Amino acid sequence: MKILITGCNGQVGSCLVKLLQERKNVEICAVDRAELDITQQDAVSRYVASFKPNVIINAAAHTAVDKAEQEIELSYAINRDGPKYLAMAANDIGALMLHISTDYVFDGTKDSTYVETDLVNPQSIYGITKLAGEEAVAEACPRHIILRTAWVFSEYGNNFVKTMLRLAQQRDALGIVNDQFGGPTYAGDIAAALIEIAQNIMGSDNLFDSANYGIYHFSGLPHVSWCEFAQEIFNKAVNQELLIKSPDVKGIKTEEYPTPAKRPANSTLNTNKITTVFNIPASNWQLALDHLVDYV
């Protein structure tokens, strides 16, 4: 199996490369913007036609949620146009297209977990452009899987876990939002899920039901608030002797911590579909915090 990974230096991309390098009978081509600018259609077409992957995994995205409110054109270029060009190139050579999306396609007002068929209503430029990317991929390449996820963290890049560990070293008390809820998701679990999906489809000898292409939700359980997530990080850090003691954590309302981009109050994703179709369980984010030394 030949796999092209875009965004290879991001959180999920880094985990994909690490996991796939350990696999036999897999040839990977891992690129970031320096090697392939996915916003340039001709470059994408040439690159894909040359490498001829069986699977394209797009882990590239403009994920700076607040910056996106100002960087609108760039957000559309990376989050909509790039995925579209990759999907078109995948379709041209009959490759499978795997694309990562986000909980931000929802407005967060639902009282229960979001399923794949719920109406979308993004409230930020990031969410709007990621939804546009979903639609572009689905239109350009019938053989696609769109994986919506949430609250991604890992040993790589910048994320909430790393920020909390850094702030805990600097402050005795922290105010953290307690009225936004979601499922923290370990990037390594996202990478493993994508690989499992690719192997399932490519190894099915054309037995994969085409009705199962489309959108899947994958995130962590249990669902928590940002405040609860932070407290668990601190507890784990104390147990692992990375912190002498946990800072005092005070829950605050969203309006007490204003940001340029609006965040959904409810980011909880229902992951039953991916478990039913691919036998992939929800991300165990608590287990992923057992080696915090790798995050500092």
Enclosing H/E stretch for 284: strand 283-284
Cα separation of 185 and 285, whole Å?
A: 6
Annotated catalytic residue within 76, 126, 156, 186: 126
Q: What is the DSSP string of 220-279?
A: EES-EEHHHHHHHHHHHHHHTTS-SSPPEEEEE-GGGS--SSPPPSB--B--HHHHHHH-
Are 58 and 38 within 8 A, CB to CB?
yes
Contacts of 22 (CB under 8 A, 6+ apart): none
Locate 215 and state its tokens.
């959108």
Cα separation of 99 and 96, whole Å?
A: 10
Are 177 and 226 within 8 A, CB to CB?
yes
Q: H/E/C letters for each residue in 139-181?
A: HHCCCEEEEEECCEECCCCCCHHHHHHHHHHHCCEEEEECCCE
Is residue 156 flagged as an active site residue?
Answer: no
Q: Which of 147, 10, 161, 150 is nearest to 78 (CA)?
A: 10
Cα separation of 24 and 40, whole Å?
A: 32
Locate 121 and state its tokens.
């209503």
Cα separation of 226 and 173, whole Å?
A: 15
- Classify the phi-psi angles of 102: left when phi > 0, otherwise alpha if psi is within -120 to 50, otherwise beta: beta
As annotated, the active-site residues are 126
